[in-house]
Chain A
Amino acid sequence: MKKTKLGEFEEMVLLAVILLKEEAYGVEIKKELEARLGERLSVGSIQSALKRMEEKGFLNSEFGEATNKRGGKRKRIYTATPHAFKVLNEIKEIRAGFWENIALEGSYKTI
């Protein structure tokens, strides 16, 4: 995994960003994750994960349009970098490798 260092929660946020495409901004990401994880999240937790990942080069961002609902404040739309896709793929493969082996043994249930 080298120096990828992607935390579990960060990974979820990253996946949500990719899924939401042009709708990938704070509140949407929050809603998406809340729906999938079944728990309430704070704006702060999402935002700090986004900022960290942007710092680490997993995300790019730019201002989107402003809406009335946000008191005239612009959204920031996030997109995943190629590096992020690469790292996500790596993680997926590593995990898949594990599960493959675990499934082949098929013994953990009997232990």
Chain B
Amino acid sequence: MENAFPPKWPGKLLRLFINKDYLEEIEGDLEEVFFDDVEHLSLKKAKLHYTLGVFKLFRLSLIKNLKWIYKIGLIITIMRTIKLAFRNLLKFKTHSGINLIGLSLGLAVGGLILLYVMDELAFDNFHEKGDRVYKVVTASEGGMETNAWPIGYKLRTEFPEVESVLYVKNFPSTAKLNHKDKRYDQTIFYASQEFFDLFTFDLTTKGNRENVLTAPYTVAITKSVEDTYFDGDALGKTLTLADTLDFEITGVIENPPSNSHIQFDVLVSFPTIEKLQWWSYTEGWGNFNARNYLLLKEGIDPSVFQVKIKNLYDENIGDWLDEMGVSFSTELIPLKDVYLNETYYNGFGPKGSKKRVNTVTWIAIFLLILACINYVNLSTARSSYRAKEVGMKKVVGSSRTSIVAQFMTESFLLTSIAFIVGLLLMYGSLPFFNNLMDKEYSVVSFLSLKFITGIVLLIIAVTIGSGFYPAWIISSLNPLHALSGKLGQTFQGLSLRKILITFQFFISSGLVIATFIVISQIDYMRTQDLGFEKEQVLIINATDAPSGSSRDVLRGQLQSISGVHAVSHTNALPGRPGWLGQWAYPEKEGGEQVDTEYMAIDENYAEVLGLQFLAGRNFDVERPSELEAGLIINETCVRAMGWNTPENAIGKEIVSPSQRPAGTVIGVVKDYHGLGLQDIIWPQAMDYRSYSYGKYFAIRYSSEQTYDLIKRIESAWDDVYGDYEFDYFFLDEDFDRQYREENQLAKVLTIFAVIILIVSSIGLFGLISFVALSRTKEVGIRKTMGASIGQIIVILSKEFMLLVLIGNLLVIPLVWHYGNEWLNDFAFHTSINPMIFAITMLITVLIAFITVSVQTYKTAKMNPVRALRYE
């Protein structure tokens, strides 16, 4: 064993702690023992002995600076400091309790948010080549996450910087797959074989890397799909789509981790597209439905490469785009940023929000600052009571550092206790937090090294943030003044305390106002007239059921059910748009291009939704020519096409490069909100001839017994599509789902506003008790002079009320600005009602007043004789 050496790190450790005079000898001994061991033990064992040997050297007699420790008795000092700190915490129970509540709330919220933020930021970090992978997107007005088909091909063939380009395409996203009689919905994508070059999704079973996703009609499935359909190995078995198409399984993949922006069940090989539908890498410039990711070669500067590919569209189809009056450019998004990117929609799974991450981070930081402020305020307020202690210590020779150390120990101890309480709070509120944030954290999530490091740093930050200033101030006392009791309540720090209280209510009120603004916008969106009637409409989702004449059969049966007024078969509904962003032109090409929402409807659509016709008429089965070539448009479309009035629009032609929408305008409906109020009302064009694309049956009903009605509707469905799941929902609920994000924001804000308000108020509560105490004598004199309890409460509280008021006033311009900025993201939004400011002011002042007067009342009620005798 010539080349056996002891491990390095224990030696380093040894050099750290062992007395320098002994180092050479002891190191030599250890190494000699090691080389002896190597001769008759395994290298591993010898190394273990060596390491253990190092640890066994932790002995007082061998440790560095041994004498110094004996002289100072550091350990004893530390023990005593901790003991003293404990005594002091127990002595001021209210004070400690308030700090404990504040800090543990702060640490619990801070901890949970830390968990959330770290998780959000760590999305897609697990891909081995992730730092070289980019998502290719098309930058245009609004931004598209998809590209024209040839873009990926060009990147693949014409750029030596590129190692690999991945094509992914939506299958109809979810579809029913069956193996024998097991039939389930699965999330499906087409993916080219580069999928495994770019991403670290591991093939678990014997799936041969070379054969996966290469041949047509083959798929790779996740472990969970394998478990759902098959008892054992799925490799080589088949899954059937829509009872007709067989796919062979050539690979089984580990389930995608939850922190991946790509979530799927089944990947279909790319060559399958060739067999199933028209598609061309080289010609398909007009088809914008390819998703691409690319892997750059090592050492390529992405910013340089980005510039190189920016003009891919202009270089190839520049003329055509100019003619259309649009401009596109190719952009790259680093893989790690795809999840949190706000502009480019993530079509493969969860989408994060940088805004939400920032919002909650700031809330957590503010909450922790507020809790620290409580500590600082209470400690400095209390300092006059501890002045004698500090003075005495200084007289007998205590150094300033040791006094600072003592006070810091107190804050560290309190923070640690608060952390333990906070941990319990975190554990208890985890299900609630998961619900709020749409996550699935468990206690296990607390155990990651990163999280623990984060928490330790948090505790250190809070200890320093809360403890350092008071410790510094208190330790600066002149012992002479401290002992002669001349400090009184005018001790320095008073003005700082005022600023801090103002800041606390600045933050609290700001958050309360923000909450009100969000809630008022949600309320506005809920109550706004949408232009259609969303209540009492039941929708059947028939996406999976076969199309064709059976659809008419079902519609007929549904219409005959009592309680049903009208049934429409359509591909779009408010909240579930049709084909968005179709290009349409008035009459001849050459006019302004109009981005249009194009929908397939039937003659009952307008009736089901209660749409109003401003001009012209609805589709009528009696007029087949209009069914064939007629279009119904909305007011916005009339304006966008440049036709002045609805009447004027009737009989006009619409054409479009993709043939749809195209036809003669036969009717104009009043504008209604096809999307949530975040969005504008799009120009809409509806036709009858695409009727067969219908995905939904929209049923207008009026029935008291909704449950019975649904039963009847379901039995009609079963008659026609018995093999397919009856999937239904209500239009109003479905439409309001678009406000989920706003609702979540409102919930988050409400909860945190309440917590922050509580923390600020208890801080005020603690502080006022000290202030009231120090003014006992004054109160006594005032009472003997005839002041009433009410007057005294006012005298004692008014200063604090003023601070709360100032905090409120200062925050108003800020929230006004950011509130309006937030509201402006909504196409339709309310304006900030100044009453919100007044109400917030009233609430915060009232809460502060109640807090303060509970304490001041106690003082004011006291018998003046006792008050004057005080001291």
Contacts and interface: CB of A to CB of B under 8 A. Distances in A.
A94 interface: no
Contacts of A26: 25-26, 28-29, 32
B67 to A, nearest CB: 11
Given A30-B33, A70-B32, A47 B24 contact: no
B32 A47 contact: no
Interface residues of B, number: 22
Given A43-B30, A48-B62, A73 B57 contact: no
A30 B28 CA distance: 13
Contacts of A86: none
Interface string B30-66: 1111011000000000000000110011111110000
Contacts of A67: 32
B32 A44 contact: no
Nearest to B18: A47
Interface in A25-72: 25-27, 30, 42-48, 51-52, 55, 63, 66-67, 69-71
Given A44-B58, A45-B56, A27 B26 contact: no
Nearest to B59: A48
A42 B52 contact: yes
A5 interface: no
B57 A44 contact: yes
Contacts of A44: 53, 56-59, 62
Contacts of A30: 29, 33
Given A42-B52, A42-B56, A47 B26 contact: yes
B27 interface: yes
A20 B52 CA distance: 26
A43 B57 contact: yes
B22 interface: yes
B536 to A, nearest CB: 83
A contact patch SS: helix
Contacts of A71: 27-28, 31
Given A42-B52, A43-B57, A44-B53, A73 B27 contact: yes
Contacts, number: 73
Interface in B51-85: 52-53, 56-62
Contacts of B59: 44, 47-48
B765 to A, nearest CB: 55
B32 A74 contact: no
B91 to A, nearest CB: 43
Interface residues of A, number: 24
A74 B22 contact: no
A75 B62 contact: no
Contacts of B53: 42-44
Contact of A43 (B26, B60, B61): B26
A47 B60 CA distance: 11
A72 B26 CA distance: 12
B31 A70 contact: yes
A66 B24 CA distance: 10
A43 B30 CA distance: 7
Nearest to B55: A44
Interface in B1-36: 22, 24-33, 35-36
B22 A47 contact: yes
Contacts of B28: 26, 66, 70-71, 73-75
Interface of B: 22, 24-33, 35-36, 52-53, 56-62
27 contacts: A26-B25, A26-B28, A26-B32, A27-B32, A30-B29, A42-B52, A42-B53, A42-B57, A43-B30, A43-B56, A43-B57, A44-B59, A45-B56, A47-B22, A47-B25, A47-B57, A47-B62, A55-B61, A63-B24, A69-B31, A69-B35, A70-B28, A70-B29, A73-B31, A74-B25, A75-B25, A76-B25
